[in-house]
Amino acid sequence: MGYNMANKTVIITGSSVGLGYECAKNIARANEGWFIIIASRNKERNLIAVDSIKKETGYDDIEQMELDLASFQSVRKFATEFKAKSYSPLQGIICNAGVHYKKETVLTKDGIEATFGVNHLGHFLLVNLLLEKMTPPARIIFVSSDVHDPTNKTGMPNPKYQKPYDMAFPKDKIISESTGPMRYSTSKLCNIYCTYELSGRLNQQGINTKQKPITVNAFNPGMMPGSGLARDYNSFSRFMWKYILPVLTLIKPEVKTTKQSGKALARLLLDKELIETTSKYFDGYKEKTSSIDSYNKENALELWEESVKLVNLKQEETILKL
């Protein structure tokens, strides 16, 4: 039997499986009055996730909405439908969904390279469209990764920030073994640029105040073998990722299960001590400095301004001054 006491809403992207699913489950278990929206592209998987969380936690205030971050039209439709419904006040957006393509260049429905398009642009548009519906105290969380930092020996190529237009429409359609992973690590750097730039804009424009905080933070879940990020790998790599590498969670602290990281991610939404914490990078439960490059304000500003153009965001669509 559910509690049906929701007085605030959180949207979690990519939450039908993996990290987002575990995060949603932990929020449900906390029983703190959150109406949880599972926002992913596959309705059938969404419904399975909703039913599973309800059965496992006994918490009924959870619903699914279809959201395809690889389509600006879908993002706009989601925002319109959300605004039209009588949900409890929106106080949380967790930008968790992510893709990683290793074999070939994949394009979104808008013709944009999908790693950059989904991991950054889709979330950028979603958050801007929903800012007007956010009711303080509210929290926005971007799921990044330690692969954004070259000093971390993750086995992934270092990020390579370029002009946003060039990341959206790369010339190298035929990619090498390292191109796809490099695009992924770069998109995770973009998540942090977006975190810091959005937080700064909310502060500068008087939208985030101590009396009415809307905070923005980035989160590193750590390496999570068994999660869905290896779906584009070859069969041997997928087998290693799913069955062999999870053993590392027993001996390497930087390697986590989705359950462990899901709990840490939920904490960024639930912890009352973080109500005013903004523009920070969390490695699991710990606040840390992000990479040296991630504090490049010129890159962050350029990424923001060019992203506005790439998603065709209009001034009337967001409460921020663009």
- The residue from 21, 59, 101, 184 that is catalytic is 184
Using alpha carbons only, give the angle 190, 154, 93 rounded to the nearest 5 degrees: 40
Q: Give the C-alpha separation, 257 to 224, whole Å.
A: 5
56: enclosing H helix or E strand: helix 43-57
Q: Which two tokens stand for residue 184?
A: 């992924």
Tokens of 220: 């590193």
Asked about 87 being catalytic, the answer comes back as: no
Nearest to residue 251, comparing CAs of 227, 223, 229, 283?
Answer: 223
Question: φ and ψ at 202, to 5 degrees?
Answer: -65, -40
Name residue 102's amino acid.
K
Say how many C-beta atoms besides its own lie within 10 A of residue 288's C-beta: 12
Per-residue exposure over 90-127, b if at least 16 CB sit within 10 Å of its own CB, e if not = bbbbbbbbbbbbbeebeebebebbbbbbbbbbbbbbbb
266, two tokens: 């939920």
Give the single-character DSSP code of 216. E
Per-position DSSP letters for 91-157, written without gaps between them: EEEEE-------SS--B-TTSSBHHHIIIIIIHHHHHHHHGGGEEEEEEEEEE--GGG-TTS--SSP
User: 320: part of which helix (H) or strand (E)?
Assistant: none
Which positions are catalytic?
Answer: 184
